[in-house]
Amino acid sequence: MDESKDLPIAVIGLGVTGLSIVRFLKKNNKNFKVYDTRENPPYLEEFLKISSKSEFISGEIDKNIIDESSLIITSPGIDFSKSFLNHAKINKIEIISDIHCFCENSNKDILGITGSNGKTTVTSLITHILNDIGYSATSGGNIGEPALNLLGKESKYNVIEMSSFQLEYSNNISCKTAIITNITPDHLDRHKNFKDYIKIKMKVFEMAENAVYFRSDKNIKNIDVKNKISFGLDKLNDKNTFSVVKEGNSHYIYHGKDKLLNENQVNLIGSHNLLNIAAALGAILSLDIDPKLTLNSISSFKPIEHRMEEFHTYNNISWINDSKSTNLEATLAAVKGIKGPIILLFGGRPKTENIEDIENFFLNSSNKMIVFGEMKELVESQLKNKDQIIFVNTLEEAVEKANLQALDANRYLIRNKINDKVNVLLSPGCASFDMFSNYIDRGNQFKNIVIEKSIY
């Protein structure tokens, strides 16, 4: 951090990340001011326990902050105006993230995980494996604890989930191992275009000793890292590769030539989650740990809430909460990875105008889709095959319709002696803000409705 000017550091945003930045600066006896557009941000009370009210300023985030600061440390949710960024550049005021500060100050081995989808599962799985086989690891960043809160905690490894918002203002990402799960269009309302989004994601590799990446993703390329480990859907025999391969009616994970796991040995649902396991195995291998030592740990790992979370079953019908699916690619991965008929609950605030790919979900199948929220208008105008689509106004109505459809589908399976189960899947493929406060609220409401409706 460059604090050569005799001016305070500006902390932008007083959410959970902003509070962690404040604690870090207080511990290091730094002079700072905190700025937030809200008069009463959620962590103001906590802030006032450790700082004075004079160090908090509410109001518009404008160019005057740059003139009055030596450095700007921003929370990930802040979207600066173009004029603000230009003014900072002209005045040579650096804007950095908490992840940047963390990487500069950590003395532990850092594993940095990013990607459009799957990064939380991979982060959690790596942490679970390392702790389970006797290596101490703590996780944080875009999941759980803010990264700066991990400084000083006893552990050998820090496993850090990094969002594009955090990477955007990070220029010192020194990872022992960096992992990219995949890159698909997302958050383009924040980033200029998809090309810029890719560039931001790829920053995680810039100072890494090891790179773990999805080799089937054409957007992940030109990796300038000496030690590379890949995972993908094509079977390769190289010792630095992991593969997810379908053989008969099952999927298997291979390490080079060696078969490691069958999908029936894990608790995670969907073939896309086998790729997440392969990514985690790649990270473990990069630490010179034999992947075969991790198999029991992988088998004991439980799904994370709101991510392909099977929370209720009855009468051969499975209810799955995948509310964290906030883009179309995540939904497509979810439906492709499930066996048996699917009743898909799809909807919310669209992130893209191009949804034709979801139509393949219906072709030559008994699958149904129940659409709710602002997505209804887009589905009605773009999709031609509407015979298997039901439009509703509320999530509660969607659950009621889904239950009726699932019962019909199950009767069909029984009548025709088909050994499958019916899956009712909330995988919205959209932002939640049209009807809910966030994806967690959406997922919790879905589960509550199912339980309260006494669907048994």
* Domains held by the chain: number: 3
The amino acid that residue 294 corresponds to is T
- What is the residue range of 244's domain? 100-300
Q: For the domain that residue 361 is a member of, what is the CATH number? A: 3.90.190.20
Contact 181, 214 (CB under 8 A): yes
pLDDT at 98: 97
Residue 232 has which token pair? 């993908």
Q: What is the pLDDT of residue 3?
A: 55
Contact 308, 450 (CB under 8 A): no
Alpha helices for 91-171 (secondary structure H): 98-105, 119-132, 164-168
At residue 362 the predicted structure's pLDDT band, cuts being 50, 70 and 90, is confident
Q: What is the pLDDT of residues 323-338, one digit of tens each?
A: 999 989 899 989 988 8
**Pair 84, 185 in one domain:** no
Question: Strand 250-255 vs strand 241-247: parallel, antiparallel, or unpaired?
Answer: antiparallel
Distance CA 437, CA 446 (A): 13
User: pLDDT grade, residue 143 (50/70/90)?
Assistant: very high
For 386-413, how does the pLDDT look when each residue is reduced to its tens digit (9 = 90+)? 889 999 999 999 999 999 999 999 999 9
Residue 423 lies in a domain: yes
Cα separations in angstroms, 344 against 288, 316, 450: 41, 16, 15
Q: Give the confidence band of 189 by pLDDT, cuts at 50, 70, 90.
A: low
Which of 50, 71, 93 finishes a domain? 93
- pTM of the shown model: 0.90
> Last residue of some domain: 45, 61, 93?
93
Q: In terms of domains, do 335 and 240 share one? A: no
Residue 185, pLDDT score = 79
> What is the pLDDT averaged over residues 147-159?
95
Residues near 291 by beta carbon (within 8 Å), at least 6 away in sequence: 242, 255, 260, 281, 284, 285
CB 208 within 8 A of CB 226: no
Residue-wise pLDDT tens digits, 267-320: 999 889 999 999 999 999 999 999 999 999 999 999 999 999 999 998 899 999
pLDDT score, position 454: 62
What is the domain-level CATH number for residue 81? 3.40.50.720
**What is the phi-psi region of residue 364: left when phi exceeds 0, alpha when psi lies from -120 to 50, beta otherwise?**
left
pLDDT at 437 over 80: yes
Q: What is the mean pLDDT of the chain?
A: 93
Residue 382's pLDDT band (cuts 50, 70, 90): confident
